[in-house]
Chains A and B, each alone.
Chain A
């Protein structure tokens, strides 16, 4: 009789035992598959937030801005920025552009001053860049040319303002003077990033330029690229374009080259990979443990088969094939359940809500797991391999038991 046939018969003969093995392998495979999807979603979220709110996929600044950033060097700016945007938009790989001015500010309200970060943005560009309208929980977007502001939900709560209220923003101007303008709050926005909710308010770019006396300039232009585009390659093309246009004062960096941004992702990746590794080891130990227990339990049966004339190599192969069948079924079920959980959650997201309160890392309250075909296939084959190989140790050990010894214990 063929070994595979005997293995199948063994599986169906003791249904409860086989089911136990399949369930253990399925749960482990499902957990790993989901964890991978979750961590992928987590990393995507982190990268997206950094690209949207901080560095973009490519960032253009004055070449000396970065090394003086802590001094708020507004004078190290991009002058005639619209010409720079025109140059950027000539590149087909660029999907969205956002010219910005970020500046520390004091918000004066009812004789108290609150520290905040102001951001001058062009709301027309911003609509495309970060779906800002969808994030407004109360009110509307400010209009360009008007002293209107959009405020982060937690900052609004801290200051005690609602839409329609007025605040006065005081800031250091480009020439290190001082200026203040009164703005009306037109909307309260819930950013996915806590830091923005707590500290930021957005004002029309032209009003920020007036407040900071920056004329027609911005401190940075960030951009997002079309999928599949290489940040460093497009940054290189833009550097050449700016140079040809005589804009050699500009520094153009892809997000991989922006130390803080990229190293943050790298650091996060290492942390998540460690988390995944520990979980992986845990799940693998469940599979190995279950498989080995099931085979050790059958030492006498193995001895009997040996007494009936089956040689040692055949016995090991038999149990290997049996484990292979069980792990194949278990892994397949586990991975399919993992996919089944991931797909709806990748649409509705997992809301960590209050758990993220007080967390200052650039992670959204809602994480959308992202299904990775490559890692899912890997999890399937890995689970099958671990379970099958785990059968080799106990079965080869049991096959070494003398048939007479095994029969004596019957």
Chain B
């Protein structure tokens, strides 16, 4: 009798394990959804801090996961550009005679006073190259069922030693991210909503980023318009073009 019960249980469990999705698969699906060949975004960055609200408009161009150009269009920052290449971040200011390459401690500085640091923009590799991932279970975020995936850095050099992502089970987009230091202190929190489908990709049109080290501060990113997989000149992402 015991043998029969065991055989039945094993028979029931095998298909379940075969159907179960692994953490690696979830991350792959996430990246497949979020990474585009090219993209052009017209957006606004809204910084809320103790001194009030500050809005900076920008246009960004992206190619793949690791190349991006952000050009600020609001009066206060007009002409300022940030170029992210595979390994570097460069800043262009109209009144500076040289390009500024961000490196070392400077990467920890805030981008335009926001809760995002230049370091947050780095990292050309895929998440699986940089982190060991583990599926912790499922949780609901704002009513959306999500996979809870924890990630631990495989090696030094990544901005955050540990991260936890809540990835939408259906849309494969992250709904929430917690980023931690090596000591386990929560450093950043990202919450995404207003998910819309554009050219077959699920895109969060609204994101709120909080640097927990800053009191009474948060930064919102709002996409006004996004175009995906459009033709972009390769020279857009060159240093020569940046100074024009």
Contact = CB atoms under 8 A, between A and B. Distances in A.
Interface in A103-149: 106, 108, 111, 113, 147
Contact of B95 (A68, A73, A181): A181
Interface stretch (B22-30, B96-104, B139-147): B96-104
Contacts of A180: 91, 93, 95-96, 100
Given A111-B101, A168-B100, A170-B100, A176 B113 contact: yes
B95 A210 contact: yes
A166 interface: yes
B: contact size bracket: 20 to 34
Contacts of B230: none
Contacts of B49: 176
B98 A182 contact: yes
A358 interface: no
B197 to A, nearest CB: 33
A179 B80 contact: yes
A175 interface: yes
A177 B96 contact: no
A175 B100 contact: no
A223 B49 CA distance: 33
Given A106-B106, A168-B96, A213-B76, A176 B51 contact: yes
A181 B96 contact: yes
A75 interface: yes
B77 interface: yes
A181 B100 CA distance: 11
Contacts, number: 71
B51 A75 contact: yes
Given A106-B106, A170-B100, A210-B95, A177 B77 contact: yes
A176 to B, nearest CB: 3
Contacts of A210: 95
A309 B36 CA distance: 120
A172 interface: yes
A173 interface: yes
A178 B77 contact: yes
Contacts of B104: 113
Contact of A177 (B50, B105, B112): B112
Interface string A41-71: 0000000000000000000000000001001
A123 to B, nearest CB: 20
A177 B56 contact: yes
A136 B8 CA distance: 91
B54 interface: yes
A68 B215 CA distance: 13
Contact of B112 (A68, A108, A168, A176): A176
Contacts of A73: 51
Interface string A163-194: 00010101011011111111000000000000
Given A177-B113, A178-B112, A180-B91, A168 B97 contact: yes
B109 to A, nearest CB: 8
B96 A175 contact: no
A211 B96 CA distance: 10
Contacts of A175: 54, 76
A180 B54 CA distance: 19
Contacts of A176: 47, 49, 51, 54, 112-113
A113 B96 contact: no
A179 B97 CA distance: 12
A178 B80 contact: yes
B221 to A, nearest CB: 16
A168 B109 CA distance: 17
A166 to B, nearest CB: 7
18 contacts: A68-B51, A106-B106, A106-B109, A108-B96, A108-B100, A111-B101, A113-B104, A113-B106, A147-B95, A168-B98, A176-B47, A176-B112, A176-B113, A178-B112, A180-B96, A181-B95, A182-B96, A213-B76
Interface of B: 47, 49-51, 54, 56, 72, 76-77, 80, 91, 93, 95-98, 100-101, 103-106, 109, 111-113
